[in-house]
Amino acid sequence: MGQTADLVVIGGGPAGAVSAWLAARDGAQVVLVDPDEAPDRIEGMSPRLHAWLGRSGMLEAGALQPVPAPRRSLWSGTMHGGNHELLVARPAFDHALRAAAARAGAQVITGVATPEPGAAVLGSGERLAAALVLDARGRRGAARRPVRRGPATVSLGAWLAGPPSTPPQTVVLPFDAGWAWFAGMGGGRAWLQVTLDAADPHQARPAARLARSLAQCAAWLPEGFRPESDGVLVRESSPLLSGVPDDLSVLPVGDASAAIDPLSGHGMFWTVSSALAAAAVRRTLAAGRDAGETPSRGASSGSGPRTCSCGRPGSGATSFAPRRAAPPRPSGARARASPTTRPPTTQRPPSAPSAGWWSRTAACPSARS
Ligand SMILES: Cc1cc2nc3c(=O)[nH]c(=O)nc-3n(C[C@H](O)[C@H](O)[C@H](O)COP(=O)(O)OP(=O)(O)OC[C@H]3O[C@@H](n4cnc5c(N)ncnc54)[C@H](O)[C@@H]3O)c2cc1C
| Tens-digit pLDDT profile for residues 153-165 | 999 999 999 999 9
Q: Which of 157, 160, 173 is nearest to 225 (CA)?
A: 160
Task: Give the chain's radius of gyration (CA, Å).
Answer: 22
In degrees rounded to 5, what are phi and psi of residue 133? Answer: -120, 130
Is ligand 1 within 6 A of the CB of residue 284?
no
Condensed to tens digits (0 to 9), the pLDDT of residues 35-91 reads 999 999 999 999 999 999 999 999 988 888 899 999 999 988 899 998 999 999 999
Rounded to whole angstroms, the Cα distance separating 325 from 298 reads 16
**Mean pLDDT for the stretch of residues 247-270:** 93
What per-residue confidence (pLDDT) applies to 351? 35
pTM above 0.85, yes or no: no
User: Residue 81, by phi and psi: left (phi above 0), alpha (psi -120 to 50) or beta?
Assistant: beta
How far is residue 109 from each of residues 157, 179, 296, measured CA to CA in Å? 29, 37, 25
Least confident of 55-59, 140-144, 197-201: 140-144
Rounded to whole angstroms, the Cα distance separating 2 from 209 reads 49
Is ligand 1 within 6 A of the CB of residue 237?
yes
Is ligand 1 within 6 A of the CB of residue 170?
no
What per-residue confidence (pLDDT) applies to 247? 80
Rounded to whole angstroms, the Cα distance separating 136 from 15 reads 6
Contact 109, 115 (CB under 8 A): no
Least confident of 6-10, 55-59, 242-246, 303-307: 303-307
Q: Which atom of ligand 1 is nearest to the CA of 237?
A: 53
How many Cα atoms are found within 13 Å in the side-chain-facing hemisphere of 361? 23
Rounded to whole angstroms, the Cα distance separating 220 from 107 reads 47
Least confident of 128-137, 177-186, 306-315: 306-315
Q: Which of 182, 268, 269, 276 to mutate to test the pocket of ligand 1 (most atoms within 8 A of CB)?
A: 268
Contact 23, 130 (CB under 8 A): no
Q: Which atom of ligand 1 is nearest to the CA of 114?
A: 41
Please say if the pLDDT value at position 234 is more than 80.
yes
Condensed to tens digits (0 to 9), the pLDDT of residues 301-358 reads 333 333 222 222 223 222 223 333 334 333 333 333 333 333 333 333 333 332 222 2
What per-residue confidence (pLDDT) applies to 246? 77
Is ligand 1 within 6 A of the CB of residue 140?
yes
Dihedral of the CA atoms 109, 111, 114, 118 (nearest 10)? Answer: -10
In degrees rounded to 5, what are phi and psi of residue 308? Answer: -135, 120
Contact 321, 261 (CB under 8 A): no
Q: Which of 97, 90, 136 is nearest to 257 (CA)?
A: 136
Q: Percent of the chain, pLDDT > 90?
A: 67
Rounded to whole angstroms, the Cα distance separating 213 from 175 reads 8
What per-residue confidence (pLDDT) applies to 339? 31
Q: Percent of the chain, pLDDT > 70?
A: 78
What per-residue confidence (pLDDT) applies to 268? 97
Is ligand 1 within 6 A of the CB of residue 90?
no
125 burial type by CB count under 10 A (0-12 exposed, 13-18 middle, 19+ buried): exposed
User: How does DSSP classify residue 212?
Assistant: H
Higher pLDDT, 353 or 141: 141
Instruction: Write the residue with the smallest CA distance to atom 29 of ligand 1.
Output: 13
Is ligand 1 within 6 A of the CB of residue 144?
no
Q: Which of 249, 305, 7 is nearest to 128 (CA)?
A: 7
Instruction: Write the residue with the smallest CA distance to atom 30 of ligand 1.
Output: 138
Instruction: Write the residue with the smallest CA distance to atom 38 of ligand 1.
Output: 137
Contact 265, 367 (CB under 8 A): yes
Helix or strand run (H / E) with residue 170 = strand 169-175
What per-residue confidence (pLDDT) applies to 114? 96
What per-residue confidence (pLDDT) applies to 338? 34
Interhelix angle 14-25/267-290, nearest 10 degrees = 40
Please say if the pLDDT value at position 113 is more than 60.
yes
Contact 186, 167 (CB under 8 A): yes
**Strand 127-135 relative to strand 250-252, pairing:** parallel
